[in-house]
Structure 1
Amino acid sequence: MEQEITQSSVKNEVWEWAKALLIAAVLVFVIRYFIFAPFIVDGPSMQPNFKTGERLIVNKIIYSIREPHRGEVVVFHAPEGKDYIKRVVGLPGDEVKVEGDVVSVNGKALEEKYIKYAVDEMQNNGGIYNTGPNFPNEMVQDGKVPEGSIFVMGDNRGNSKDGREIGYIAYDKVIGRADIIFWPIDNISLVKH
């Protein structure tokens, strides 16, 4: 009789563990594929704010609730079949113009606090920060952001393949918003938008 109780309690224990592991696996799957995703920064295009090798958590659900805002850092599927990280500069209907270090949206110079120090430092040394192409240009000739799309730029303007070359990014290509830097550990922080 005691052996039957022991076997029964072992079976119950195994069954409880199996259920707990199954629930955990389902939760991990749902969170990973529908709510958050990891992303590894690859390349210098977002310096000085993001560095190669940093690992981020991307909020995949936010743009199901609302559209991107100017200044947010987004991860998206680029036309080359690779995922890029860039900053939203232009929204649907905006007229975007880039001339040297000045980015204008609807005729007003954009205040870009996230790169102000780098721009000022370069200009104080007699150079310009944006050594990349101006916009519109021969690659993307229309400066008006179409409906359902955004215009993005890298923070490292002279070393970024961004909207000036690849054009506008449709909402359905946006994976999500970069929200947290979680690696390296000594650099854990919320992403400043």
Structure 2
Amino acid sequence: MSKTKNELFSWIKSIIIAFGIVMLVKTFLFAPYIVKGSSMEPTLHNHEKILVNKLGAITDGLSRGDIVIIKDTKEDTNYVKRIIGFPGERIEMKEDKLYVNKEQVDESYLTANRNKAEELGVNLTGDIGPIIVPENHYYVMGDNRLNSMDSRNGLGFIHKDYIIGESEFVFYPLSKIRDIK
């Protein structure tokens, strides 16, 4: 009887430890998120599941062009957007070209959307700025600029505390597994 009790206690202890480790990893390192909507197409699609690295956001290890998850406390929802501008930078859009601190930035991830916009005879992004990103904030935009609520039109500047993490890769559906860095 004592051996059975020890085995049961050992199993319970192992399960509690494993649960604690999973909670720590999910809270501080990695977490899954579901893409909702079309604002990041064709890079990310509606209902795809992505793995998010939370450590980069905590340590300020973010780079221009990173795709991040943003917490919206007003609507208790999350947004997936691309970092365009960092604190103190001068952001400007002219004739569908992004300029940061007066230097043009290559946005090759927009090629498919630019082609679609040209077919429709419209610009992807209206002219913006110049604007200066405030301290402790970021400027973000979706890849599907024709259909994205972002810093231009509703989200405004994003405070660094509202960036949950950086997306690493799509893990579902299984047929679409890919790295998105």
Which aligned pairs between 1:14-163 and structure 2 lie closer than 5 A?
14-78=8-72, 80-81=74-75, 82-123=77-118, 125=119, 127-130=121-124, 132-136=125-129, 143-163=131-151
Q: 1:122-166 CA deviation, whole Å, 9 max, x = no partner? A: 33x362351x54323xxxxx7101111110000000100001022
Q: Which of 168, 176, 179 is equivalent to 2:157?
A: 168
Cross-structure match for 2:167: 178
Say if 2:179 is the partner of 1:190.
yes
Looking at structure 1, the residues matched to 16 and 24 of structure 2 have their Cα atoms a distance apart, in angstroms, of 12
Question: What letter is aligned with 1:143?
Answer: I
Structure 1: gaps of 5 or more residues: 1-6, 137-141
> Aligned partners of 2:22 and 2:31: how far apart in 1?
11
Cα distance, 1:148–1:67 mapped onto 2, change above 3 Å? farther
Give the match's secondary structure for 2:2. helix
**Given the superposition, is the C-alpha separation of residues 71 and 147 from structure 1 closer, same or farther in structure 2, using an over 3 Å criterion?**
same
Letter in structure 2 aligned against 1:187: K
Instruction: Letter of the 2:53 partner, please give it.
Output: N
Task: Give the strand-richer structure, 1 or 2.
Answer: 2
Q: Which amino acid aligns with 2:139?
A: F
- Note the residue ranges of structure 2 that are not aligned, 5 or more in a row: none
Distance 2:58 2:137 in 1: 14
Residue-pair matches, total:
179
Q: Which has the larger radius of gyration?
A: 1
- Compute the TM-score of the two structures, normalised by the length of structure 1: 0.85
Q: CA shift at 1:79, angstroms?
A: 6.1
How does the TM-score come out when normalised to structure 2?
Answer: 0.91
